[in-house]
Structure 1
Amino acid sequence: MTKLWGGRFQKSAESWVDEFGASIGFDQQLVLEDITGSVAHVTMLGKCGILPQADVTAILAGLATLQDKAVKGELVFEVANEDIHLNLEKMLIDEIGPVGGKLHTGRSRNDQVATDMHLFLKNRVTEIIELLTAFQQTIVAQAEQHVETIAPGYTHLQRAQPISFAHHLLTYFWMLERDKARFTESLKRIDISPLGAGAMAGTTFPIDRELSAELLGFSSVYANSMDAVSDRDFIVEFLSNSSLVMAHLSRFAEEIILWSTDEFKFIELDDAFSTGSSIMPQKKNPDMAELIRGKTGRVYGNLMGLLTVLKGTPLTYNKDMQEDKEGMFDTVHTLVGSLKIFEGMVRTMTVNTKRLHEAVHSDFSNATELADYLATKGMPFREAHEVTGKLVFTCIQRGYYLLDLPLADMQKESALIEADVYDVLAPTAAVSRRNSLGGTGFTQVAAQLAQAKQLLG
């Protein structure tokens, strides 16, 4: 098959070479964006008098036909035509005749593919922001049910202090809020039009780049034609932002996995987000959480892959940059799927409040309360810390917890300890008293929930 760019060549590559160099296997995902860009481009060519209106009308009709076929999944792409741009141009010529070849007037595949990716990410980032918001809403809904559910808080994966379970859940709300802010900010750098930059130096045709940008819904155009075709910062930024979201999801997934074990039993996942074993009938595995934890690595890999591709490429376009797409597509697919799965997983999970109650009444996570109690009585905190540590050791030796230790034994370590200490050591009291700004106290958590709802609007 003769290439659309083949006039200078006397010899064709073998088919396996074409297959190695072709991108149509993955960039066909840009089909609608490519057609959208072409519609804007040819409309602009007509407005500027570069193409006669009859040609513009014919090309627009042909593009409309291709778009309809694309939506219906009826387009057949060929490796011999390399990429989405040449495939569509060949289809357009087949559809309306040689006039279809005029579509490429005043543009290059270099600015064309950059335009496609800007359009693609603009739409997908908007979708991702909506998914992040939906997940936040689910977290808030679960948190509202568990403001006064007391759970063990951890540091080093060891029991630390009792907390409101809602407070724990809302931690992820704020992570996602920062993720949303990063994606929203990145839209400023995605929402720029490269169209009309040509191969790298602009064009001699009297085009109107601002008109093209307006037709495509872009807020601005690249000021430098070389930057327009070589910039992939916006994809790197997308991959970086996505990596942070996946890091947050992976941390949450790890906790979901731990909480659902028999050792914790803090939650139970819905059957729809669990799987069984082919050999062990009793198993209920948190596979979706595990898979999201695993997929985090591939998103990180996509980021590092593109950074490595870009680190040594001179200006402007190089074939290396064909490697910018697969990781981008894969990350979009992975992130969108992970957010949808996680939202459903959290929305349908059952919190085992009885088990959480048992957990906080059978540990030493209230030890800080005793140290604080002594400090409020005038004992230096460092001394209070030591006294409390000795009492914890006494409990361990006797098989007690602090609430079980007789007052007389406590008073052997400090005469400042009185009968009211048992009220202070109660887990509910321990949580409710922590009302510093942003703390786990019930009134603070309620305020945090109100703030979260206000942000969700």
Structure 2
Amino acid sequence: MSDDSPSETAVRRDRFSGGPAREFLSSLAADAAIFAADLDVDRAHVVMLAEQGIVDDDTAGEILAALDDVEAAGHDALPDGEDVHEAIETAVIDRVGADGGKMHTARSRNDEVATCIRYRVREDLLDVAEATVALREALVATASDHTETVMPGYTHLQPAQPTTLAHYLLSYEAAVARDTGRLLDAFERTNRSPLGGAAFAGTPFDVDRERTAELLGFDDTVRNSMDAASARDFLAEAAAAYAALSTTLSGLAEDLVIFANKGFLELDDDYASTSSIMPQKKNPDTLELTRGVAGDAVGELTSVLTALKGLPRAYNRDLQRVHPGVFDIAGVVADATDVAGGAVSTADWDEPALATAAGEGFSTATGVADLLAMAGLPFRTAHEIVAAGAENIEDGDDPDSAAAKLDEAAQDVLGESLFTHVSRADVEAALDPAASVASRDSAGGPAPEAVVAELADAETDVAADADTIEARRDALSEAFETLDEEVASYV
């Protein structure tokens, strides 16, 4: 005999009556992000059904007109449903009658939702890619103004070698260019249509998958119907591209925060704030938040991969929880990219402070060692001489004094004067940060002429990526125009 009273049993049974479970299953609120996508997917599918003779033209026209009404009413006017797809279908049936249900002929919610997600993600990828191009333009423009602005370069946060501000900024342009490439690569694999794969095993109806792909602006279809319904690796790829970009942004933001602390730059007021209690403060808050976005993006990538890990083929409801965060993080990363570009382009760089710091910590030591090696000494011997001299060289030493200390070190190491191998004038020149930078004219180096060549290449690459994004947007716009024209022919 059960220990439960009848009333307790009834209460527990009510747990499965559909209240909390119904709310837990529903994605209708979150699906606002793919409301527009679902309407276009529905339209393309109905047009194809009519063209294939699966649905008659009159019924297709009624359904397409009802979809226009649903769009005009908006997502908030949808009837209750498990998801946006079911709610839109219900709204169409409410307007058309039972024949409205023919809209769902020859498809499943599985291929429908997969198509809607790809539709949305490809737009996000282009938006973020466009933001990276704007950031690169800001980096290139600022770099072009500072090809001869000498600044300190660091390794391990210690003074290492002098470089130029242009060289430093172009290092980030190169990194962001790779981020642009990853986003555009992800677009290529995302822009494939799953529609027509049905639940996962295809359909007996004579559907034209290529036609719906064309009407929706997809480059091709996801060929295997099981893969079409279940694949979400494109979400992982998009999230990975966002995480990689946010990591690049975090490094840039960290550098700018440190440079602001050292007095190398002042952020524009639009990218800083003051303390609520300390009136003298100017805090790099926007850059700190940009730095923090990397944690959000990496977390989202981890979430996606963890959700997908070990899922069996084909469709599983776990997939419902994978995409909303990817939509959200795209907007956050795009905003952070815009902030980084604005901070760079409006910052006031203190060139005298940068020049002074460029020679601190005997940062030209490598240049002196290179000079000795070019004169014929083994590099390791040259390294030993300069390292010994560095122990006595202090910030503020003039070139003559520093050269004398290096000569003393050479006599200890070699037993002869340094100036039997190189001239004193050459050593003093090598000790000068600007001259040291000018000597480093290898491809991609910081010498002004090398940087000018790099600037030209960067400008070409930025323009090419901007053209690619524009071409992608134009192709989508043309597809939407074609879809609108086809819909108009039935309504």
* TM-score over 0.5 (shorter chain): yes
Within 5 Å, which residues of 2 pair with 1:279-294? 279-294=277-292
Cα gap change, 1:400/1:137 in structure 2, threshold over 3 Å: closer, same or farther?
closer
1:454 shift after superposition: 1.4
Equivalent position of 1:8 in the other structure: none
Cα gap change, 1:407/1:304 in structure 2, threshold over 3 Å: closer, same or farther?
closer
Could you tell me whether the CA contact under 8 Å between 2:287 and 2:340 is conserved in 1?
yes
Mapped partners of 1:16, 1:408: distance in 2: 83
Within 5 Å, which residues of 2 pair with 1:48-67? 48-67=52-71
Equivalent position of 1:4 in the other structure: none
1:387 shift after superposition: 1.4
For the aligned residues, what is the CA RMSD? 1.9
Equivalent position of 2:474 in the other structure: none
Mapped partners of 1:442, 1:400: distance in 2: 25
Could you tell me whether the CA contact under 8 Å between 1:27 and 1:325 is conserved in 2?
no
Equivalent position of 2:483 in the other structure: none
Equivalent position of 2:476 in the other structure: none
2:29 to 25, 28, 32: 25
Mapped partners of 1:55, 1:254: distance in 2: 60
Could you tell me whether the CA contact under 8 Å between 2:159 and 2:360 is conserved in 1?
no
Could you tell me whether the CA contact under 8 Å between 2:362 and 2:390 is conserved in 1?
yes
Cα gap change, 1:284/1:96 in structure 2, threshold over 3 Å: closer, same or farther?
farther
2:19 to 15, 33, 36: 15
Equivalent position of 2:350 in the other structure: 352
Mapped partners of 1:346, 1:408: distance in 2: 41
Could you tell me whether the CA contact under 8 Å between 1:377 and 1:416 is conserved in 2?
no
Could you tell me whether the CA contact under 8 Å between 2:122 and 2:190 is conserved in 1?
yes
Equivalent position of 2:370 in the other structure: 372
Equivalent position of 2:72 in the other structure: 68
Deviations 1:356-383 (A, max 9, x none): 0121243310111221222223222212
Mapped partners of 2:173, 2:437: distance in 1: 20
> Percent same amino acid at aligned positions?
38
Equivalent position of 1:436 in the other structure: 442
Mapped partners of 1:228, 1:259: distance in 2: 49
Deviations 1:150-175 (A, max 9, x none): 01001011000000110000011111
Mapped partners of 1:400, 1:340: distance in 2: 40
Within 5 Å, which residues of 2 pair with 1:121-160? 121-160=121-160
Equivalent position of 2:325 in the other structure: 327
SS at match of 2:29: helix
Cα gap change, 1:207/1:170 in structure 2, threshold over 3 Å: closer, same or farther?
same
Could you tell me whether the CA contact under 8 Å between 1:186 and 1:238 is conserved in 2?
yes
Equivalent position of 1:388 in the other structure: 386
Equivalent position of 1:445 in the other structure: 451
SS at match of 2:442: coil
Could you tell me whether the CA contact under 8 Å between 1:236 and 1:307 is conserved in 2?
yes
1:47 shift after superposition: 0.6
Mapped partners of 2:280, 2:251: distance in 1: 27
Equivalent position of 2:213 in the other structure: 213
- Which deviates more from structure 2 when the two are superposed, residues 123-132 or residues 350-359? 123-132
Mapped partners of 2:77, 2:327: distance in 1: 20
1:314 shift after superposition: 0.8
- Which deviates more from structure 2 when the two are superposed, residues 120-129 or residues 44-53? 120-129
Equivalent position of 2:38 in the other structure: 34
Deviations 1:208-235 (A, max 9, x none): 1111111111121122111100000111
Mapped partners of 2:78, 2:338: distance in 1: 31
1:290 shift after superposition: 0.9
Mapped partners of 1:221, 1:402: distance in 2: 69
Matched, 1:239 2:239: yes
1:454 to 439, 453, 460: 460
Deviations 1:310-347 (A, max 9, x none): 11211110111111112211221211111122121112
Equivalent position of 2:176 in the other structure: 176
Could you tell me whether the CA contact under 8 Å between 2:163 and 2:358 is conserved in 1?
no
Cα gap change, 1:23/1:161 in structure 2, threshold over 3 Å: closer, same or farther?
same
Mapped partners of 2:263, 2:78: distance in 1: 52
Mapped partners of 2:397, 2:83: distance in 1: 69
1:402 shift after superposition: 6.2
SS at match of 1:358: helix
Q: RCO (CA 8 Å, sep 6+): is it higher in 1 or 2?
A: 2
Cα gap change, 1:210/1:408 in structure 2, threshold over 3 Å: closer, same or farther?
closer
Q: Which amino acid is 1:412 matched to? A: E
Q: Which amino acid is 2:424 matched to? A: A
- Which deviates more from structure 2 when the two are superposed, residues 420-429 or residues 159-168? 420-429
Mapped partners of 2:391, 2:458: distance in 1: 41
Within 5 Å, which residues of 2 pair with 1:271-282? 271-282=269-280
1:411 to 398, 407, 419: 407
Could you tell me whether the CA contact under 8 Å between 1:138 and 1:343 is conserved in 2?
yes
Mapped partners of 1:110, 1:353: distance in 2: 59
Matched, 1:316 2:314: yes
Equivalent position of 1:102 in the other structure: 102
Deviations 1:51-72 (A, max 9, x none): 11111111111112222333xx
Cα gap change, 1:151/1:408 in structure 2, threshold over 3 Å: closer, same or farther?
closer
Matched, 1:401 2:407: no
Equivalent position of 1:297 in the other structure: 295
Q: Which amino acid is 1:432 matched to? A: A
Mapped partners of 1:211, 1:374: distance in 2: 70
Cα gap change, 1:407/1:252 in structure 2, threshold over 3 Å: closer, same or farther?
closer
Structure 2 gaps, min length 5: 1-14, 411-416, 464-491
Q: Which amino acid is 1:416 matched to? A: L
Q: Which amino acid is 1:450 matched to? A: A
SS at match of 2:159: strand
Could you tell me whether the CA contact under 8 Å between 2:166 and 2:451 is conserved in 1?
yes
Mapped partners of 1:142, 1:336: distance in 2: 21
SS at match of 1:152: strand
Could you tell me whether the CA contact under 8 Å between 1:392 and 1:401 is conserved in 2?
no
Q: Which amino acid is 1:55 matched to? A: T
Could you tell me whether the CA contact under 8 Å between 1:28 and 1:83 is conserved in 2?
no
Could you tell me whether the CA contact under 8 Å between 1:392 and 1:402 is conserved in 2?
no
Could you tell me whether the CA contact under 8 Å between 1:22 and 1:83 is conserved in 2?
yes
